[in-house]
Amino acid sequence: PMKLAKLIDTLTTLLNADRREQLRRYDEMKTVLRKLRRKRNELLDELEQAEGEEREKIQRRLDIVIAERARGIAILRELKKARDA
């Protein structure tokens, strides 16, 4: 499994690419977003069991995953519209 930093780095690279490149890598972006969803669920499970500082650390990572995933999904929706048009 990919580490969180690697997943976010891959997503950032995909989001910063120009439109043609994004359209070409549409499926790759969907895969990365799916992996981030799994990571988010894992972090939510960990958060339920964690306490104190560990809980704060997990919460920060979770916030990052949620924000990056939302950004990726928004662009994916735009790309889908562009692709279907």
Q: What is the chain's pLDDT, residue by residue, as a tens digit (85 residues)? A: 679 999 999 998 888 888 888 888 899 999 999 999 999 999 999 999 999 999 999 999 999 999 999 999 999 999 888 888 7
The neighbour count for residue 79, using CB atoms within 10 Å, is: 17
What would the two tokens of residue 42 be? 């894992």
* Cβ pair 17, 25 in contact under 8 A: yes
**Helix axes 4-16 and 52-84, enclosed angle (nearest 10):** 30
Q: What CA–CA distance (Å, rounded) separates 28 from 23?
A: 10
Q: For position 64, what pLDDT does the model report?
A: 95
pTM of the model: 0.81
